[in-house]
């Protein structure tokens, strides 16, 4: 199909090179079609026109499912027309049917915005549409491509936690450099996830209380008690333990006592009596 220098016909022998390998350089759209379906002939010239307008920012590959049924099955294509967006060797997005040009432009523009930005945007979109594994792959790739963009690990940690992988979410945030963990978006998330996981993993409160009674300087036990108290809506008790930790050892779990207090201040609001009380106590103890 020599309609454009950016449009190619798929064959069994060229698919991996044409689609998968090229998708590491930029987006590749594969139009799964058949001459038996009229909508395919409506969509095809529109896609060719888009390829020309974008001037090589993506490649368009036409795959006749009558001639290559095994490739259609490989990628789960059950109806045509179907357009799959390949990026970095994986299917990153799918459009079923002859959607309007605006639908294709919207996805293409997310891709072409830049590797990390488009992976981030596509990852969040995949997560919202329930494609969790695809979202994880895209967000992980984006985080590697742009390590200074803290919004990416922030969203990835939220995804992991929402899928019941709080421990992995914390490991991800723990791996960030100290200045990144102090970021205004990362710090409260780190504090929140840490407290939730600590409460989930903690033994019964009576056991934690016994450990503290035996050793009042046991900061880990105090942190567990803070988490358990918070889970029981005992904000004052939790803040008392967190204040003790912040005053005793700023290095404990990356200054988690102070960071958690600040997160709770934001949660309760500046006018809350506990916020005023413990904000003053924290300020006095640290200065």
| Same domain as 117, residue 101 | no
* Mean pLDDT lowest among 57-71, 129-143, 215-229: 129-143
**Mean pLDDT rounded to a whole number for the chain:** 91
| Same domain as 80, residue 50 | yes
89-140: pLDDT as tens digits? 999 899 999 999 999 998 887 777 655 667 788 888 889 888 898 888 888 8
| Same domain as 273, residue 196 | yes
- Tell me, yes or no, whether 171 lies in a domain: no
- Whole-model pTM: value is 0.57
Supply the DSSP symbol for 253: T
Supply the DSSP symbol for 24: G
| Same domain as 14, residue 93 | yes
Alpha helices in the chain (DSSP H): 15, 38-54, 69-74, 101-112, 115-128, 132-145, 151-162, 166-174, 178-181, 186-201, 205-214, 219-231, 235-248, 256-268, 273-286
| Same domain as 119, residue 62 | no
SS3 63: strand
Q: Are 68 and 125 in contact (CB under 8 A)?
A: no
pLDDT at 44: 95
| Same domain as 270, residue 189 | yes
| Same domain as 94, residue 13 | yes
Query: Last residue of a domain, which of 60, 78, 106?
Result: 106
Question: Treating both helix axes as pointing N-terminal to C-terminal, what angle do 256-268 and 219-231 enclose, rounded to 10 degrees?
Answer: 20
Segments forming the whole domain that contains residue 211? 178-280
Give the count of domains, the chain.
3
184-187-190 Cα angle (round to 5): 145
| Same domain as 44, residue 65 | yes
- Of 139, 137, 101, 105, residue with least CA distance to 121: 139
6-51: pLDDT as tens digits? 899 999 999 999 999 998 878 899 999 999 999 999 999 999 999 9
- Tell me, yes or no, whether 172 lies in a domain: no
pLDDT at 113: 60
| Same domain as 276, residue 188 | yes
Interval 226-248 mean pLDDT: 96
- Pairwise pLDDT comparison (111 vs 163), residue with the higher score: 163
Look up the CATH number of the domain holding residue 97. Answer: 3.40.30.10
Interval 176-193 mean pLDDT: 89
């Amino acid at each position: 199909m020599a309609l454009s220098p950016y449009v190619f016909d798929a064959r069994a022998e060229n698919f991996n090179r044409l689609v998968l390998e090229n998708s590491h350089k930029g987006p590749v759209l594969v139009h799964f079609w058949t001459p038996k379906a009229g909508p395919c002939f409506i969509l095809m010239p529109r896609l060719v026109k888009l390829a020309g307008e974008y001037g090589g920012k993506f490649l368009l590959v036409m795959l006749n499912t009558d001639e290559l049924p095994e490739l259609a099955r490989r990628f789960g294509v059950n109806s045509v027309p179907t357009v799959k967006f390949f990026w970095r060797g994986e299917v990153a997005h799918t459009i079923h049917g002859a959607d309007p040009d605006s639908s294709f432009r919207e996805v293409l523009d997310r891709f072409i915005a830049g590797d990390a930005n488009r992976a981030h945007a596509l990852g969040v979109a995949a997560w919202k549409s329930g494609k969790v594994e695809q979202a994880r792959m895209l967000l992980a790739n984006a985080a590697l491509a742009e390590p200074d963009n803290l919004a990416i690990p922030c969203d990835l940690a939220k995804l992991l936690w929402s899928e019941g992988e709080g421990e992995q979410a914390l490991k991800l945030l723990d791996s960030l450099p100290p200045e990144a963990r102090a970021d205004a978006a990362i710090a409260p998330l780190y504090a929140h996830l840490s407290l939730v996981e600590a409460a989930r993993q903690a033994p019964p409160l009576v056991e934690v209380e016994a450990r503290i009674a035996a050793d009042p300087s046991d900061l880990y036990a105090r942190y567990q008690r803070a988490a358990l108290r918070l889970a029981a809506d005992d904000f004052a008790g939790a803040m008392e333990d967190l204040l003790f930790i912040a005053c005793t050892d700023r290095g404990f779990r990356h200054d988690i006592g102070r960071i958690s207090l600040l997160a709770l201040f934001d949660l309760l609001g500046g006018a809350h009596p506990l916020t005023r009380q413990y904000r003053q106590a924290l300020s006095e103890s640290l200065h």
